């Protein structure tokens, strides 16, 4: 059970950073590759994660369960996948209305990435709630959890920038990330039933 | 065997360059770290160069000869001007990537009628070009500080058209990946007038060569692949780039020769061997692809240009 939750947290971290890294490639055709594009993406991801932590913590107060935890991953997948279908029209819409590529890229990042990232941000605090049994262990549990999920983020960044972009198209990577979230959600549901 | 010879020629050039660059007179005039790169202006042996790193030679962007400021130092700048054989009177020119600004300044002089828009992402490069390399803006020659991809899309919305587009944003070290995709080239193609010419100044010394070639072929069909084996430079020239390859008129040796003669006087101070280029272009127009034609074109979805460039 504890192992499963750690694996899920790892996958969450992996998906978040892989998505963030692809963000630059998704935005470049419309907003270029200026420093502000990276700035917009990081701002939106940090803001979304902070909101996700807040919401995840609140959610963990009422009837925490592995099934609900799985639900976070499934919802993340459902909100991530539309990037493949709607990124182009959304960016075109914003490009035509906002002349300055700084604000254009900021607004576009917000539309594209806020929803899935807020949801994925809920994973960490929720995992802590599921793992903590004694108050005196809470710091240790949280530490291990952050270790695992941030390690997932590091590996997600590395794999995406070194290999995935060489092996796959951007949309293929996004599809794979969606599948990872769905598979781990399914595994968690099955584990919760047993 | 041929490759080995090419390599050794490259080596000799490299060594010569290093000797020149490291000679006792080398002096750094200006150094700054801009948002995008490190900028170094260096004088050595009456040669003033703009570099983006100190060590590697292929990061040299522009050099001017202080004794003969007009004379173009690098062969690729000269080779880019071969495009004038295909478009002798451009009214509107778009250059992507300023460097020291030698190319827009040369064109401003050679094609006096032309309006030249140069798009450069780094404001610091524009400043350095003005302060150290004699780049001057006027009503027909302006620098626009913007990402080229954004500029291209906005220019299309405004209905702008260019007779000559020169892509000069690549160096041996770093490729802006969103400027080397099928979609970007299609956007540039849509900005060209009828008979408009597209030129790209790139490199031919890594695995990227095959992919880059496939990308240009996917958009333009055929193109003139003007290579300089000694320096690893290659200039891609697409005549009548808006038309499909079989709609384009054939390059005739006589017509090229006649144009070379017209251009000769104007190009003389720049040391451009235009008559030789005229022959070369005709010869190139009959050449078969020398790259792996099974390579994938790069797209916005698949553009690992920098990874490929490092192997």
Q: Within a domain: residue B170?
A: yes
pLDDT 10s digits, B226-236: 998 788 889 99
Residue B20 in any domain: the answer is no
Number of domains composing chain B: 1
Q: Do B301 and A169 touch (CB under 8 A)?
A: yes
Please report whether residue B136 resides in a domain: yes
Q: What single string gives the DSSP state of each residue in B145-187?
A: ES-HHHHHHHHHHTT--EEEEEE----SS---GGGSSHHHHHH
Question: Do B221 and B239 meet the contact criterion of CB atoms below 8 Å apart?
Answer: no
Closest residue in A to B183 (Cα) is A29
> How many A-B residue pairs are in contact by the CB < 8 A criterion?
58
pLDDT at residue A166, rounded to an integer: 93
Establish if B101 belongs to a structural domain.
yes
From chain A, the residues in CB contact with B153 under 8 A are: 30, 95
Report yes or no on A140 lying in a domain. Answer: yes
> How many CB atoms are closer than 10 A to CB B35?
11
Shortest distance, CA B307 to any CA of chain A (angstroms): 8
CB contact under 8 A, A35 and B148: no
> Does residue A95 fall inside a structural domain?
yes
**Does the residue B56 lie in any domain?**
no
Q: Contact B100/B69 with Cβ under 8 angstroms? A: no
Q: Is A58 a member of any domain? A: no
Residue length of chain A:
194
- Any idea what DSSP says for residue A181? H
Q: What is the pLDDT of residue B1?
A: 45
- All residue ranges of chain B with pLDDT < 50 are 1, 24
B35 part of a folded domain: no
CATH code of A183's domain:
1.20.1250.20
The verdict on whether B210 is a catalytic residue reads no
For residue B35, the chain A residues in CB contact (below 8 A) are: 35
End-to-end CA gap in chain B = 21
Q: pLDDT (tens digit, 9 = 90+) per residue, A108-158?
A: 999 999 999 999 999 999 999 999 999 999 999 999 999 999 999 999 999
Q: Is residue A93 a part of any domain in this protein?
A: yes
pLDDT on residue A66: 96
- Return per-residue pLDDT of chain A as tens, 194 residues: 899 999 999 999 999 999 999 999 999 999 999 899 999 999 999 999 999 999 999 999 999 999 999 999 999 999 999 999 999 999 999 999 999 999 999 999 999 999 999 999 999 999 999 999 999 999 999 999 999 999 999 999 999 999 999 999 999 999 999 999 999 999 999 999 98
Q: How many domains does chain A have?
A: 1
Q: Tell me the shortest Cα–Cα distance from A18 to chain B, in angstroms.
A: 15
Q: Which domain, by its residues, includes A47?
A: 2-53+63-193
Give the pLDDT score at B151. 97
How much of chain A, in percent, has pLDDT values that exceed 90? 97
Domain of B175, in residue numbers: 75-309
Largest CA distance in chain A: 55
| CATH number of the CATH domain containing B108 | 3.40.50.150
ipTM for this model: 0.90
């Amino acid at each position: 059970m504890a192992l499963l939750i750690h694996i899920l947290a790892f996958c969450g971290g992996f998906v978040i950073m892989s998505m963030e890294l692809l963000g630059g490639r998704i935005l470049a055709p419309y907003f270029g590759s200026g420093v502000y594009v990276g700035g917009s993406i990081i701002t939106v991801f940090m803001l979304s994660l902070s909101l996700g932590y807040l919401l995840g913590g609140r959610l963990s107060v009422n009837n925490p369960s592995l099934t609900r935890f799985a639900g976070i991953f499934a919802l993340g997948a459902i909100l991530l996948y539309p990037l493949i279908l709607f990124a182009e029209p959304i960016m075109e819409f914003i490009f035509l209305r906002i002349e300055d590529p700084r604000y254009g890229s900021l607004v576009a990042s917000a539309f594209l990435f806020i929803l899935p990232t807020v949801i994925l941000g809920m994973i960490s605090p929720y995992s802590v709630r599921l793992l903590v049994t004694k108050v005196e262990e809470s710091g240790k549990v949280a530490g291990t959890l952050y270790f695992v999920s941030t390690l997932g983020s590091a590996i997600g960044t590395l794999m995406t920038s070194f290999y995935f972009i060489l092996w796959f198209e951007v949309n293929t990577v996004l599809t794979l990330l969606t599948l990872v979230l769905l598979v781990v959600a399914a595994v968690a549901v099955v584990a919760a039933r047993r | 065997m041929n490759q080995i010879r090419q390599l050794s020629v490259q080596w000799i050039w490299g060594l010569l360059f290093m000797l020149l660059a490291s000679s006792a007179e080398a002096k750094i005039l200006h150094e700054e770290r801009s948002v995008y790169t490190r900028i170094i202006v260096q004088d050595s042996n009456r040669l003033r160069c703009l570099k983006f790193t100190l060590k590697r030679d292929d990061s040299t962007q522009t050099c001017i000869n202080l004794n003969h400021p007009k004379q173009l130092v690098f062969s690729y700048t000269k080779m880019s001007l071969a495009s004038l054989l295909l478009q002798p009177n451009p009214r509107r020119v778009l250059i992507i990537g300023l460097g020291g600004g030698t190319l827009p300044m040369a064109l401003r002089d050679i094609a006096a009628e032309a309006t030249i828009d140069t798009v450069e992402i780094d404001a610091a490069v524009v400043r350095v070009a003005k302060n150290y390399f004699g780049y001057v803006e006027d009503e027909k020659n302006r620098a626009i500080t913007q990402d080229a991809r954004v500029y291209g899309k906005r220019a299309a919305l405004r209905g702008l058209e260019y007779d000559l587009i020169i892509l000069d944003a690549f160096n041996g070290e770093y490729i802006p990946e969103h400027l080397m995709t099928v979609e970007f080239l299609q956007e540039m193609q849509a900005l060209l007038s009828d008979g408009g010419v597209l030129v790209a100044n790139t490199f031919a010394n890594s695995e990227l060569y095959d992919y880059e070639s496939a990308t240009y072929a996917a958009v333009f069909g055929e193109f003139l692949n003007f290579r300089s084996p000694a320096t690893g430079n290659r200039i891609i020239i697409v005549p009548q780039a808006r038309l499909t390859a079989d709609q384009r008129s054939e390059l005739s040796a006589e017509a090229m020769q006649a144009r070379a003669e017209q251009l000769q006087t104007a190009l003389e101070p720049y040391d451009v061997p235009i008559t030789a280029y005229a022959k070369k272009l005709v010869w190139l127009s009959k050449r078969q692809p020398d790259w792996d034609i099974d390579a994938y074109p790069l797209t916005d979805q698949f553009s690992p240009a920098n990874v490929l460039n490092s192997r």
